[in-house]
Amino acid sequence: MDHNRFSLERIHQGIIHFIDSLHMQEFSLRIIAWFAGKTDLPVVGRIIRFFGNVYTRYIIFGKIHLGSVHNHQHTIIDHDSAIELIQREKDLCVIDCICRKIGKNCDFPLKTCILVGSGARVRNGVNPGLKVTVEEATHILKSCFDQNLIHNAIYTLGQLVEVCNCCSCCCVPILGVRQGIKSLQPSNYLATRTCDCKMCGICETICPFGAINKGKINAEKCYGCGLCAYKCPEGSIIMVKLR
């Protein structure tokens, strides 16, 4: 039984690898983005939102259950690391957040996902208006972090393809974590409270993973996004590097 399951996982991983080698992910992303743009239509919009939510949950949850998460890693990164990643790239463009466009659970800005590399070059060729400079992309990251949106780096076959700015109410990977599914990789940092904490409760309110309760930080739930340290008015939380 275990041998059969292992074989199925290997076959599934092989298929995913083959699809990625054909750059089908970019093609499917365009299709999803086109449909997501129609979600405001009266009746059709509801249907698109329903199937869109089902599909995105399969993409995140289904692949993880089938053992191919190493090919499609969604990794939380702190603010400084997000800026460093962006500054290494030559080709950048900004697109709408599909999770928020489909979920429609909040009023956070949509144009917050930053494509990099070949994906950005393709998009910029089709729509030059999406192209952004490193300075503009850095401003987007800062603006999003100020609004309590955390940074999520998406890798395919070991290559960075996108840096998303995620909310806890629409982001599919974050919703997966809240349901007990390993749909995100944590960053290299862990939030740690210092002794001068005044228990104002801000960190507990904004933590997207529910890792803080009455001033105590649950290390097992912390994904190291750094938002709590960034927003603490007393500077009572520091980010400790793990590795």
Distance separating alpha carbons of residues 125 and 233, to the nearest angstrom? 44
Q: What tokens does 195 get?
A: 């002794």
Higher pLDDT, 110 or 35: 110
Instruction: Give the pLDDT confidence score for residue 159 in this predicted structure.
Output: 82
Domain boundaries, the chain: 2-178, 189-241
Instruction: Give the pLDDT confidence score for residue 181 in this predicted structure.
Output: 78
pLDDT tier, 15 (very low <50, low <70, confident <90, very high otherwise): low
Instruction: Give the pLDDT confidence score for residue 22 in this predicted structure.
Output: 45
Instruction: Give the pLDDT confidence score for residue 188 in this predicted structure.
Output: 92
Fold of 189-241: Alpha-Beta Plaits (3.30.70)
| pLDDT of residue 143 exceeding 60 | yes
What is the reported pTM? 0.75
Distance separating alpha carbons of residues 204 and 90, to the nearest angstrom? 37
Higher pLDDT, 22 or 37: 37
Please report which residue ranges of the chain form alpha helices under DSSP H.
2-21, 24-36, 44-57, 63-65, 79-87, 98-103, 117-126, 134-146, 172-178, 202-206, 227-231
Distance separating alpha carbons of residues 243 and 241, to the nearest angstrom? 6
Instruction: Give the pLDDT confidence score for residue 23 in this predicted structure.
Output: 46
pLDDT per position as a tens digit, 156-196: 767 888 999 999 998 888 888 887 877 789 999 999 998 77
- Which residue from 235, 236, 208 is spatially nearest to 224, judged by alpha carbons? 208
| Helices 24-36 & 2-21 angle (0-180, nearest 10) | 80
Distance separating alpha carbons of residues 121 and 182, to the nearest angstrom? 31
Confirm if 171 and 108 have CB atoms less than 8 A apart: no
Number of other CB atoms surrounding residue 32 within 10 Å: 18
Instruction: Give the pLDDT confidence score for residue 79 in this predicted structure.
Output: 96
Indicate if the alpha-carbon torsion angle 131, 136, 142, 148 is positive or negative: negative
pLDDT per position as a tens digit, 32-73: 656 666 666 777 777 766 666 666 655 555 444 433 334 447
Instruction: Give the pLDDT confidence score for residue 223 in this predicted structure.
Output: 96
Instruction: Give the pLDDT confidence score for residue 33 in this predicted structure.
Output: 59
Instruction: Give the pLDDT confidence score for residue 9 in this predicted structure.
Output: 61
- Which residue from 160, 33, 161, 24 is spatially nearest to 96, judged by alpha carbons? 33
Higher pLDDT, 162 or 2: 162
Mean pLDDT lowest for which of 23-27, 151-155, 197-201?
23-27
Helix (H/G/I), strand (E/B), else coil: 129: helix
Distance separating alpha carbons of residues 140 and 179, to the nearest angstrom? 29
Higher pLDDT, 178 or 139: 139
Instruction: Give the pLDDT confidence score for residue 215 in this predicted structure.
Output: 83
Helix (H/G/I), strand (E/B), else coil: 192: strand
Instruction: Give the pLDDT confidence score for residue 81 in this predicted structure.
Output: 94
Instruction: Give the pLDDT confidence score for residue 229 in this predicted structure.
Output: 95
pLDDT per position as a tens digit, 230-242: 999 989 999 999 8
pLDDT per position as a tens digit, 77-105: 999 999 999 999 999 999 999 888 878 88
